[in-house]
Amino acid sequence: MQCSRTDLHLERCPSPRSEDADRFRELLFRRSQGEPIAYLLGTQEFYGREFVVDERVLIPRPETEHLVEVVMRDSPGRCVIDVGTGSGAIAVTLAAERPEFQLLALDRSSDALQVARTNAQHCGVADRVRFAVSDLLATVTSSGNWSCVVANLPYVEPKDLWGLPRDVRDHEPMLALTPDRDRPEVLRQRLMDQARECLESGGLLALEVGAGQAGAVRDEMLRRGYGRIRIHNDLAGIGRVVAGFLRG
Ligand SMILES: C[S@@+](CC[C@H](N)C(=O)[O-])C[C@H]1O[C@@H](n2cnc3c(N)ncnc32)[C@H](O)[C@@H]1O
């Protein structure tokens, strides 16, 4: 109705026009089918900015803001790759918060990259974020000179999909929830190995993980050449980010 919530309570708004009422009924119907509010509104706030979202991308979660903060604090340099960028929430936020950063944002989904490009434009950072379709880091040819690889890869086990809320399971992209070929830990191990080739010595690998996965991910990173590994908890006290540095 294009008026504020306050005006609505003070009855300062005109009665809804019939086309607005029709539109509202349509939104109500979609919500009754479990479609998330963010898709209905077309936007989701992340780290203080508004991101365009639709069914092509995962809705960015507040937990992922911890991942962004770890990279901002611990990246030893300014060249950062965001793997599985989705809406671009991580790459675009890093570019907006750190004007010296140069970002490469990758995703296997070209549909998701279209949304991410829109978000980079809206946030005024399109000149510092490059986008490319890529299976993990397979298309990255320049090796040994990246400061940081950050990723929030799909981490739901296929067997756990049915336990997810209907809003998530039936509406968010399946490729963003669970890997289509490997199990989540195999996908992550592939990323750890590929990142070893891309990162400079001492470069940072920062991964978001699911509840209960952090310890195993830390051990795997240790086995695959990373050190000074830390687990960062989210506000619920769940180990949410595992980050470590490539050993020289
Ligand atoms: C959990 S979503 C994260 C989206 C966004 N980075 C965020 O934090 O909101 C995972 C993303 O990884 C992408 N993805 C899945 N498998 C991939 C792969 N093998 N290589 C690159 N991207 C992949 C999905 O398309 C999806 O956009």
CATH number at residue 158: 3.40.50.150
Number of domains in the chain: 1
Residue 27 in any domain: the answer is no
Q: In testing the pocket of ligand 1, which one of 129, 152, 168 has its CB within 8 Å of the most ligand atoms?
A: 152
* Statement: residue 142 has pLDDT above 80: no
Residue 11 in any domain: the answer is no
What atom in ligand 1 is closest to the CA of residue 46?
9
Q: What is the mean pLDDT of residues 173-190?
A: 93
Neighbouring CB atoms inside 10 A of 169's CB total 15
* Statement: residue 158 has pLDDT above 80: yes
Residue 33 in any domain: the answer is no
Protein residues with CB under 6 Å of any ligand 1 atom: 58, 60, 64, 83-87, 89-90, 106-109, 112, 134-136, 152-154, 175-176, 179
Residue 81 in any domain: the answer is yes
Q: In testing the pocket of ligand 1, which one of 46, 53, 65, 85 has its CB within 8 Å of the most ligand atoms?
A: 85
Residue 230 in any domain: the answer is yes
Q: Which domain holds residue 151?
A: 58-246
Instruction: Give the lowest-confidence range in 32-41, 134-143, 186-195, 234-243.
Output: 134-143
Sheet holding 199-208, edge to edge: 129-133, 102-107, 79-83, 146-151, 199-208, 239-246, 226-233
